[in-house]
Structures are given as C-alpha cells and as structure tokens.
Amino acid sequence: MEKYEKYKDSGIEWIGEIPEHWEVKKLNYCFSVIGSGTTPTAGKTEYYNNGEYNWLQTGDLNNFEIIETSKKITQEALDDYSTLRFYPANSIAIAMYGATIGKTGLLKIKSTTNQACCVLSEPINLNSKFAFYWLNSIKNHIISLSYGGGQPNINQEQIRSLKIQNPPPEEQTAIANYLDRKTAEIDELIADKKRLLELYEEEKTAIINQAVTKGINPGVPMKDSGIEWLGVIPEHWEVKRIATFGSFSKGKGIPRSELKDDGFPAILYGDIYTKYDIKADVIKNHINEETTKTSVAIEKGDLLFTGSGETAEDIGKCIAYLGEETVYVGGDVIILRQKKHNSLFLSYSLSSNSSIFQKASMAKGQIIIHIYASNLREIYLPIPPKEEQTAIVQFIETEISRINLKAEKNKKLIDLLTEYRTALISEVVTGKIKVI
C-alpha cells in the first residue's frame, strides 16, 4: 500500500516514525474533559430498579460503539452521588482495572459511568473516531503500563500522559472514514464465520438429541414412550427413572484457595461449567493430601452434576468422569455412582434437550438456581441395550469430531481476520500506510 513521502522520528520508541507533517500531543491536551464516575451502593434497589439513565461498566466495553448499557440507574442515585456525571455521545471510554484493562468503547449515547472507566470527552482539534481507533491500536501498550498483582490497574494520569499522533483535522476524518469502511467489511466477514460456528453447535446438539432419544438406525420400529415431551422411541428401548441406576451422594467443600498445580486431582462445581463438556478424564485442578481427608472421592464411571447455577437451563449440567485416578469433588457437586449403563451415553442423554427440560422444570430459586439429588432421581431417560449405548456413543463422537474439525478451521479464519483488523488499524493510525 502507498506510503507518505517523508517521515520523521515520533520521539516515541514503541511508535517509531510518523509522517513528517503529523504532530504528537499528550491526550491531556486533546480533550477538555477526562474523568470517571462511581458505583452507587450495590443492593440498594432505589438506585437501580426501574433506572432510566445509562450507567457504563467495563463489561460494556467491547472495542466497538456503545449503543446500550447493561445497567441503568435512577434519579435518586444521581442525587446522592455528586461524582456521577453525564458524558455526551462520541465520548471514548477506556477500562482501567483488572482483566478488561485497555478495552474501549465509543459512546453513541449519553451515559454516566463507574469508577473503573476513564472517559475522554469534548475533543480539541481531534476527531473522536480517529482517537478511538488509535486507542484500540495501542491496547497492548496500555496493558504494559498496568501495575499491581492479581488485579492490575492503570490510572487516569497514565491515560492523560499518553502521546497520540495528530494528523491535520481533514486527514483524521479521512482516516476515520476509511477505517469505518474497511473494519465494517472485516466485521461482516467475522460475523459470517461466527454464525457458521453457531450452526455447527446447533448441528452437534441435533445429532445428540436424535441419537439418545431415537437411536441411530432409522428403519427400526418405534413405539409411544408414554411421555408427552419425549414422543416415540425405538420399540426395543425402555424408559427408566435415574433413581433405578445407582446411588446419589454429594461432594464436600474444597475452597478454591486450596487448589494447587499438582497433588491429588479435584473437581469443583464451577469447573463442570467452565472446564469440562460431557466428560472429564484429564483433571486440571489439584489439592494437597490434607484437603482430601475432608473431601469425597469418585471413581471412573461416576456422573457429576452441578447443584447450583445462574439459569434454570444450565442447572444440573452433567459430565462423566472417565479417568483412572481417584478424584475428589467439592461442594455443590451431586454424584451418581452406577454400573448398569454406559456412563458416557448417560452423560450425552442427560445433556439432551429432553433432560434439560426436565431439570429446568425442577429448578428452585431465582437469583441462584438450585437442583437436588431428589430432583435428579425423578428424571426419565429412554434407555437402549448396553451394546447399543456403546454404538450410539461411538457414532456421536465420530460426528462431533467431524464437526469440530470444520469449526476449528473456521475459528482460525476468525483469528486471522481479527489479527488483520488490528494490524490494519495500527498501520493506518500511525501513518505507516497512506489512505488518502
């Protein structure tokens, strides 16, 4: 691509050369307002219930335009907290704390904010969209400025001191417009690839649902299961309550603070949601010998369920433990020990839509959702002969492997497009390539 005729040293080591006619300025001199906000007391319903005013949090920042905030606050919150102020549309927000450091958002709405966001407003001879793209391009540099241990932070003074390359105003506008067009094209390609990933997930779900409720032999005679939400099943299958499979027990508390890099393998209920899907064989967390004395051990073939969660649809997520080691499980894990059936078949079946429907209908609670062994005992599953269970598992695993291979190729394309988008923004806003 075309370059500018002449370059000069920017005086910024990590930027290098910039076009000769560009300037370098501190952000502090480029915005009339640089500020933040605060968090009204959590739990005070009068500050949040039926709120009508936008209140920005770092979780709302996604390096794109912000057209809505996930939470809103009331007039009472504004009255009680003088540090809450409104920032106009076209202000730029930057996350200053924790894992979100450096994430940005360009406000397309008027909004207040919490203390974790730094907001740049009322630009002086600076195109907001140009500055937004520039901040996106230096995210790694912003992260490198962070300080602290487990919760690294940056502060407003560090943001004020950042030096931005400053082309003439008409050039800033042209660069912003060019990047608007090019990133929109790239974002559409990425969105298409992500939609394809969603279709792959839907295909996997459909394969599992069909295989564990209707089997994998399309010509087999069918019969009414006697259960409305299940419909017909293969004639030689049975419908059984989980209570008939084996015995239930519960894990005991393993504090997350007790987890080690090595020692005795352990599974916490949160791990079932975040680290495993359908099965667990290689265990990723460990505890010391002392902690095992107050925990509960499981063995190969045991099924594990989450006893609490955030939604009724997620509650009672099931995995089968298929490893050879003795593993210890923490509290809020419900254990089913059974020897009658293929554990992996049961795990797939208990992750099917019909099982999710049953578990959701038994869920208790509103903010934190719970399910108990007494509920799980009453789940009904269509059960084929054991040798057919094994064949179904093999079929599902083969089909899922096939789909996963396609999904991985798609994810790599998304990564490449994302990297290209980032590189393009960086090259353009630093003047490495000329677009006007």
- Per residue in 46-66, pLDDT (tens digit) is 999 999 999 999 999 999 999
CB 347 within 8 A of CB 266: no
- Looking at residue 150, its pLDDT comes to 67
**Distance from C-alpha of 302 to C-alpha of 299, rounded to nearest angstrom:** 6
Residue 255 has pLDDT above 90, yes or no: no
pLDDT score for 436: 84
- pLDDT band per the 50, 70, 90 thresholds, residue 349: very high
- Does 43 score more than 90 pLDDT? no
Query: What is the average per-residue pLDDT within 322-347?
Result: 95
Q: What is the mean pLDDT of the chain?
A: 94
Contacts of 271 (CB under 8 A, 6+ apart): 284, 285
In angstroms, the CA 83 to CA 428 distance is 37
How open is the CA angle 166-167-171, to the nearest 5 degrees? 140
SS3 306: strand
Contact predicate 288/266, CB 8 Å: no
For 64-81, give the DSSP string.
Answer: EEE---SEEE-HHHHHH-
Number of helices followed by number of strands (H, E) in the chain: 12, 27
For the chain, give the percent of residues with pLDDT over 70: 100
The span from the CA of 204 to the CA of 399, in Å, is 8
Residue 149, pLDDT above cutoff 70: no
Point out the least confidently predicted range of 3-7, 148-152, 197-201, 309-313. 148-152
CA proximity to 22, closest of 167, 173, 130, 134: 167
Residue 17: pLDDT above 70? Answer: yes
pLDDT tens-place string over residues 153-182 = 999 999 999 999 999 999 999 999 999 999
Output the pLDDT for position 121: 97
Quote the pTM value. Answer: 0.82
* 262-298 tens-digit pLDDT: 899 999 989 999 999 999 998 989 999 889 988 999 9
